[in-house]
Amino acid sequence: MASAALLLPLLGAASPAEATAPSLSPAGKATTAAGLQRAFAVAAAEYHVPRSLLLGVSFLQSRWDTHAGAPSVTGGYGPMHLTDARTALAAAPHHGQGTEDARGDSARPALVTETRLPATDEIPARLRTLPRAAELTGLRPEELRTDPAANIAGGAALLAAAQRSLGEPLSGDPADWYGAVARFSGADDSATAGRYADDVYDVLRTGAERTTDAGGPVALAAQPGLAPRTGQLRETGLRTASKAGTECPTTVSCEWIPAPYEQFGDNDYGNHDLGDRPAAPGIRYIVVHDTEGGWEGVLNMVQDPTYVSWSYTLRSTDGHVAQHVKAKDVAWHAGNWYVNAKSIGLEHEGFLAQPDSWYTEAMYRSSARLVKYLAARYGIPLDRQHILGHDNVPGPNTATVSGMHTDPGPFWDWRHYFELLDRPFTAAARASGALVTIRPDYLANQPVYTDCVTKGQPCAAHGSGAVRLYSDHDEKSPLIKDVGQGSAPTTGVNDTSSRVSTGQQYAVADQWGDWTAIWYLGQKAWFRNPKEHPTAVPAAGQVITPKDGRDSVPVYGRAYPEASAYPAGVPAQAVSPLPYTLPKGQKYVVGDKVPGEYYYAVTFDTGSHRDVIGADTYYEIQYGHRVAFVRAADVKLVSSTS
């Protein structure tokens, strides 16, 4: 998939400084926000790159965070996201999590696939910019990976080399660097490179200021009248990619790389089902995944008819999008056929060889634009019971619960993601409200996780959008147990037993000092929620509770119709409860009311396909870390204040 343009190295060597600048030794001088701001000034002067441009590019890569030397999901390091994926993969184990059947329909034999990472010799040039920066600067790769000042210098050297390779002068005017910024993206096509450069210049025009993980504010002054020389894009030599066939907004770069609908073997086929959505079935969910592999290898997998499928893949370095399955059709991605039939799946590139890694700003922004477009087109509510992580999808039946996947994991920044969706999580009720929305400070919230690299060993310290739950108002008390997992809860990075995530809403069960209890998996679950630094904010909405006279009601992983709703020729699907109950007196937040529905599609010939809708209705609820369903006939709907 990688073209010659992608593999073309950035030519040229770093030029000597032509202006006097304050000195800043690479080692250890940019670990504070003030040092970080100064490091941009020093690197800009050293390599004759406009300081504002360097700040703008870094913001789109990392939002100026240093991540303490930890790599991104594609082996990118530091504020400039200098990539060294070969090193990131070398010490990393296979990332195996979950044993789910991605299709998730018991009416067909299970299709369980193995995660396959690409070989290291397949890593393209866009994922090897850190070694190139080492050549240009003379700095050791270890410095570029771990020291922010060195990393910024490496990014400046790469930009200067790209500018010279285009025959452009090292101008002090950021408007003269559009082509170099496009080339810096690592994209192999002009549309993606241009979209990336446009985003950088949008940052320059609007300005930015934020508190970084270095501990203080870094600022970029707005330049509202800045007009870059976009014509430079023609000089980059990048290929022209066709957008034909895609269902994407104009605000993202997108290409059509179709997943195959083919027969193979003994009356089998793959890797998705044809449908007539949103007419039947409707589309109600978007599921956020990570790819568990690199871009080139993942594209090979989705084009394999014996593998699984998803709707879109997003690239980490530049936010490029590939669409594989039309929205009208059903991709096999979530491990729950009910969710698959009613959802669109977005895979975000990441080796996840080290699950405590981070995601780029370029990918977050591109993903948010795509989600806003799809949500508007198909009427999908922008909330956390409709914009799901793969880790929020319930097992369809008891046997599948323990094998469900856990991506994108606790390091996906849901708070920032929903800010990009223009749906920030804000307080919506009095301080004493009966519901809460989980909303920790991502950077400051750093619960200890284990098993990222070595089983039982702590992961690197990392900001997180997830909050841990305890059986009492004491961090020494046992973690909340998920009976469906069949094992004791742990602090493992892939163990969702005792974890809530940013944006999820729960009914308040109790309060004790700085602690709040919520109803969770049929239990009272506690988390720290100090008033001076709250972990959650008051919310409002509707909840369900068992009808009077019921000690408990069953909980389901799918909203299937009653047996009498199935027409002749369509086998009735079991309405099988999960190993959970909803006890009397407990309340759970409602996300939707839906009819029982099953899309029958088990043959390559679409003539037998049917969308079965029953008379029974269900409420989708936030039951634990994952959503679940209860029959409307079993519960009563009440206001959160009732």
- Mean pLDDT for the chain overall: 90
Strand partners, 255: 322
Comparing 62-66, 266-270, 334-338, 546-550, the range with the smallest average pLDDT is: 266-270
Distances (CA, A) of 339 to 558, 573, 586: 8, 15, 26
Residue 23, pLDDT score: 41
CB 62 within 8 A of CB 176: no
Q: Which of 313, 7, 14, 432 shows the shortest CA–CA distance to 187?
A: 7
User: Per-residue confidence at 289, pLDDT binned at 50, 70, 90?
Assistant: very high
Taking only the tens place, the pLDDT of each residue in 470-528 is: 999 999 999 999 999 999 999 999 999 999 999 999 999 999 999 999 999 999 999 99
Nearest to 83 by CA among 315, 261, 263, 310: 315
Whether residue 124 has a cis bond before it, omega within 30° of 0? no
For 419-436, write each residue's pLDDT tens digit: 999 999 999 988 778 999
How much of the chain exceeds pLDDT 70, in percent? 90
Q: Full-prediction pTM beyond 0.75?
A: yes
Query: What is the rounded distance in angstroms from the CA atom of residue 360 to the CA atom of residue 127?
Result: 13
User: Do you find a cis peptide bond into 271, omega within 30 degrees of 0?
Assistant: yes
Give me the pLDDT at residue 291, please: 84
Q: Is the pLDDT of residue 15 over 80?
A: no
pLDDT of residue 567: 97
Listed in order, strand segments (DSSP E) in 175-261 are 208-211, 217-220, 254-256
Confidence band for 123, pLDDT divided at 50, 70 and 90: confident
Domains of the chain: 4-84+128-235 (1.10.530), 243-410 (3.40.80.10), 433-540 (no CATH), 545-639 (no CATH)
Region 68-83: mean pLDDT is: 90
Checking if the pLDDT of 111 tops 90, the result is no
- Residue 633 three-state SS: helix
Q: Output the pLDDT for position 110.
A: 73
* pLDDT band at residue 21 under the 50/70/90 scheme: very low
pLDDT tens per residue, range 607-619: 999 999 999 999 9
pLDDT for position 579: 97
pLDDT-derived band at 88 (thresholds 50, 70, 90) equals low
Cα pseudo-dihedral 432, 437, 438, 442, rounded to 10: -110
- pLDDT in the model for residue 292: 73
In the block, residue with structure tokens 């037993």: 497
Q: Is the pLDDT of residue 29 over 60?
A: no
